[in-house]
Amino acid sequence: MDFIWLIPLIPGIGAALNGLVGVRAFSKRTAGLVATGAMGAAFLLSGVAVVQLVGSAERYHKVTVASWIPPIPLETANGIGSFEVPWAFTLDPLSGMMLLVVTGIGLLIHIYSIGYIDHEPRGGVARFFCYLNLFCFFMLILVLGSSFLVMFVGWEGVGLCSYLLIGYWYKKQSASDAGKKAFIVNRIGDWGFILGIFLVFFTFGTLDFR
């Protein structure tokens, strides 16, 4: 299960390929296959991870990829807490179930989108699949994040990608307005999320879920 960090990374790579190369060089078919293949690989890895979790006596598995914010001693309600945020992912029964939901439904959406978006210009198709892969990338970070701050990164990314997907036809006024509305509504929710993060750290001295 040490490979769970690859599950969000693969759609992220798919998004980068379509965003940096696909809009100029990929055919419509190639752009769709790259994005859908990335989601298919993420779904397969998710299945392997969940099977390993079910067969393991340990129901909580944490993988630390890197140190994001080094330890900073800060005063909390219980004394001095260590504000430390590693870039880490957690697999447990809840996140395992959500992994299969996100990657499984995401894969079906990608397959459907190959036909749905086919009438768009070549560069537009690659841009759409870049947004779609990026949405799944951030959603998987939200699901797997081992702390409130890592989950918040996923939350913010999902909000951004919602704006990009809703406003994909940006030349259409109604789509552009709907994208802006979704972005603003998400930002309002951010204030409650940020306040909750501060309260959790002040109360418990950590942002880790466990």
pLDDT for the residue numbered 150 = 92
CB 166 within 8 A of CB 135: no
**Which residue is associated with the tokens 């001295």?**
205
Q: Per residue in 34-86, pLDDT tens?
A: 999 999 999 999 999 999 999 888 888 899 888 877 777 766 666 666 677 78
In whole angstroms, how far apart are CA 203 and each of 70, 73, 109, 178?
A: 20, 14, 41, 38
Q: Per residue in 149-204, pLDDT tens?
A: 999 999 999 999 998 999 888 778 887 888 888 888 888 888 888 999 888 888 88
- At 78 the three-state DSSP class reads coil
**Residue type for 189, please?**
G
Interval 113-126 mean pLDDT: 90
Interval 117-133 mean pLDDT: 92
pLDDT for the residue numbered 69 = 74
pLDDT for the residue numbered 34 = 96
In whole angstroms, how far apart are CA 166 and each of 2, 85, 182?
A: 35, 32, 8
pLDDT class of 139 with cuts at 50, 70, 90 = very high
Reference 35, options 21, 49, 51; nearest CA is: 21
Per domain, the residue ranges of the chain are 6-204
